[in-house]
Structure formats: C-alpha cells, structure tokens
C-alpha cells in the first residue's frame, strides 16, 4: 500500500505488525504516571495551532525525549539527525528537515494524533486518549506523553531544518 503523504511503501507483514504491537506496548508501559490527555486541544485544518495547555516547549528536553527508549521511543521508527544512539528505525520517515517541511501546528498534530492526518499510520497517538482500541485497562484515559513532553518534542522538531 502506498502512503499518499510520503509515497513510501508500508510493510504489511505479520512480523512487522507484531513488532509494532510490542513497541506500542513498551511505550504505553511508561505512561502510567502521566497526566490525563484528551480533547483539550483544537485542530484547525491540518494542525493544532495553540500549544497544549498553553505550555512552552524546550528543544533540549524534546531531543532527549526523542532519542530515549521511554516513553516516546521515536527512534524505533525514525532516524534522528545527530543522534548518537546507534541504530534507528526506518518504518517512518527520517526526521531530518521536518521543521522545514511542516509548520509547528502540523508537527504538533502529528505528535498528538498522527492517525487524524493519515488514518493508516502505524505511529501511535501520543496524546489523544479517546476512541482508541485495544488499550489495556490500566492505560485507558492516559496519554503516552504529557502535554509538556509533547510541547518539548515539538520545540525540538521545529529546529530540524
């Protein structure tokens, strides 16, 4: 299947789906102490123009979150510029230049709820908590990333030009 946004092939093998389920479970395992996410944001067009909870992101913290194994685990699927962490994934697009390709609002929506942009995306919704399927009871209603963490990641990604 071709992604209309990226022109890339999405691998639909049983092994890939299993790997993604494990990755999502690992990422969700770290969210038990985080705030309640949800619909406290407004989508306008193809982005979320206002920062979540009126927060200001910190690019250095965002980079740390991006390259860490928990809670975001972005490097499982994406390559990150200047990441000194070794291997990176190639299931998602490289993040180099994302700040030049997308606006801050577009990046924020993709972190909050990529499936709103591309319904077949394998990227988890890092902040949306409603309308999700197959969520373990102890993680229902809890986002993977806090509002502050989302804003930190967004602050870092907009610097990648």
- Dihedral class, residue 73 (left if φ above 0, else alpha if ψ from -120 to 50, else beta): left
**Which pLDDT score is estimated for 86?**
65
**Which pLDDT score is estimated for 107?**
98
Contact 71, 152 (CB under 8 A): no
59: buried, middle or exposed (CB in 10 Å: 19+, 13-18, 0-12)? Answer: middle
Average of per-residue pLDDT values in the chain? 80
- Domain spanning 14-157: CATH superfamily: Cytochrome c-like domain (1.10.760.10)
**Which pLDDT score is estimated for 83?**
62
**Which pLDDT score is estimated for 30?**
34
Closest by CA to 66, choosing from 158, 146, 157, is 157
> Does residue 66 carry a pLDDT above 80?
yes
**Which pLDDT score is estimated for 2?**
45
pLDDT single digits (tens) 2-41: 444 444 444 444 444 434 443 444 444 333 323 445 668 9
């Amino acid at each position: 299947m071709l992604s209309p946004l990226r022109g890339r092939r999405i691998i639909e093998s049983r092994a890939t789906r299993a790997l993604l389920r494990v990755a999502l479970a690992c990422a969700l395992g770290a969210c038990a102490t985080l705030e309640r996410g949800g619909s406290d944001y407004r989508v306008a067009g193809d982005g979320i123009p206002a920062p979540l909870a009126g927060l200001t992101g910190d690019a250095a913290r965002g980079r740390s979150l991006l390259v860490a194994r928990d809670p975001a685990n972005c490097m499982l699927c994406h390559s990150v510029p200047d990441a000194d962490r070794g291997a990176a994934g190639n299931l998602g697009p490289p993040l180099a230049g994302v700040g030049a390709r997308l606006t801050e609002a577009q990046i924020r929506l993709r972190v909050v709820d990529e499936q709103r942009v591309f319904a077949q995306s394998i990227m988890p919704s890092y902040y949306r908590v409603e309308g999700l399927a197959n969520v373990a009871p102890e993680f229902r209603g809890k986002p993977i990333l806090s509002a502050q963490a989302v804003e930190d990641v967004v602050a870092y990604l907009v610097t990648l030009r």
